[in-house]
Amino acid sequence: MAEERAAMEESLLGKEIVSKAMSKDIYMKEMKKICYLAGPMVAIGLSQYLLQTVSIIIVGHLGELYLSSAALSISFATVTGFSFLVGMSCGLETICGQAYGAKQYQRIGMQTYTAIFSLILVCLPLSFIWINIENILVFTGQDPLIAHEAGRFTIWLLPALFAYAILQPLVKYFQIQSLLTPMLLSSCVTLVVHIPLCWALVFKTGLNNIGGAIAMSISIWLNVIFLALYMRYSSLCAKTRAPISMELFQGIWEFLRFAIPSAVMVCLEWWSYELMVLLSGLLPNPQLETSVLSVCHNTIGTLFMIPFGISAAASTRVSNELGAGNPFEARVVVLGDMSLAVIEAGIVSGTLFACRHVYGYVFSNDKEVFDYVTVMAPLVSISVILDSIQGVLTGICCCRTVNQNYANIILMLLHLRQACDHPLSLATVLKIMELQGGQIRLCYDRDN
């Protein structure tokens, strides 16, 4: 009896060792897959987000008024437009990701068309809001001069809104199939074109800050054209390229079932940051305060593209594995992505803190703006750490199934709590800035 028990324990121990070894091998293989997918997605995300950041940097060198108005305009455009489109397009990650895992390739192309059509319809009421942005900002108490310039900037961003409605579903279409090379080349070429184009329109044509908005619109449409042509003519897209038909209208309700919860989660997260920039315009010195908050916000937003790329890779891999009926591999994907998120957060936040005395000058030549940015840098570094972990978790949770309604509710409540926390954070930060403002201004006066 004792010998049989010992043999059984030895057998179980051997199976446990083999299981652990297999798990380790699977983990390392999955880490390679995630890095292969996340690396290009990070580059793509950075290239696309830098269109906005480069425009603010170039416009910011015109002065505080143009920097603050451009930042206010882009924040308002994000709150009332871009966040909806990005969030709704995330619904494709679940639908098309599982369809790809189940080898239902034609469904991917048809759902992409459905998403594009749905998002273009959403743009119609949003564009009406954008046209009246100046009146809305003045009504909410913003400085009239800043509101006027922000209104002019936003109107010239209208073409970018409709381009975004096409771009985001196309990005998901390529991402789900792991066709990263066309997206990487398209976004990088667009960024390379955008930098000199924006500089020329701002400084050489007399358009000033309006040139930054026009450059953004042209660049985003250029990206759309590149991806659409690749989708239409590349042989790699042949199996998922469905003919446009009336069937795209039949998938609208299914798309909205996933798109609306995704949009709510993304909007609550994005709004909490953008509202900080909008609220800063209500302060006694709105040009300075909005400029400082916009620099910090754009720094956080640019660096967030790294965990956003990791979360996109997680969403794609988890959806593929669940669609193929592999729940164990899906758990390994989650573990690998969280490991990458922790490593990335430590490296990026540490580098940012070490460069806190330098990076402010990238956005503005104004020394007072630079001094305030230096004060805010430690808080920005902490935010980068928390954003990295939270961003990857959000991407993983977006790979839900229809029956996971409780997960949706929990995520929405968490993002709602975050949206309530950020105004409190803003009040705390601005109080710190107010207390340190006298000392900063004293140093500024001494230097001049």
pLDDT at 76: 86
pLDDT at 150: 92
- Could you tell me if residue 357 is inside a domain? yes
- Could you tell me if residue 17 is inside a domain? no
Number of domains in the chain: 1
What would the pLDDT profile of 85-105 be if each residue is shown by its tens digit?
988 998 888 788 778 777 788
pLDDT at 132: 92
- Could you tell me if residue 13 is inside a domain? no
pLDDT at 75: 84
How many Å apart are CA 411 and CA 39, to the nearest integer?
A: 26
Residue 17 has pLDDT above 50, yes or no: no
The one-letter amino acid at 442: L
Phi and psi dihedrals of 92, rounded to 5?
Answer: -65, -25
How many Å apart are CA 215 and CA 236, to the nearest integer?
A: 31
Opening angle at CA 233, ends 97 and 101, nearest 5:
15
Q: What's the mean per-residue pLDDT of the chain?
A: 79
Integer Rg of the chain from CA: 24
Q: What is the DSSP secondary-structure string of 58-107? A: HHHTT-HHHHHHHHHHHHHHIIIIIHHHHHHHTHHHHHHHHHHHTT-HHH
pLDDT at 273: 67
Which residues form the domain of 247? 29-447
Residue 184 has pLDDT above 80, yes or no: yes
How many Å apart are CA 329 and CA 318, to the nearest integer?
A: 8
Please give the C-alpha separations between residue 400 and each of 385, 403, 404, 413, in angstroms, as whole numbers: 25, 8, 6, 16
What would the pLDDT profile of 114-127 be if each residue is shown by its tens digit?
999 999 999 999 99
Residue 400 has pLDDT above 60, yes or no: no
From 50, 56, 54, 58, select the one nearest 74 (Cα to Cα). Answer: 56
Residue 304 has pLDDT above 70, yes or no: yes
* CA neighbours closer than 13 Å in the CB half-sphere of residue 289: 22
What would the pLDDT profile of 23-71 be if each residue is shown by its tens digit?
677 777 777 777 777 888 788 888 888 898 899 889 988 888 898 889 8
Task: Burial-class residue 245 by CB neighbours within 10 Å (0-12, 13-18, 19+).
Answer: exposed
- Could you tell me if residue 18 is inside a domain? no
- Could you tell me if residue 24 is inside a domain? no
- Could you tell me if residue 142 is inside a domain? yes
- Could you tell me if residue 381 is inside a domain? yes
Total number of residues shown for the chain: 448
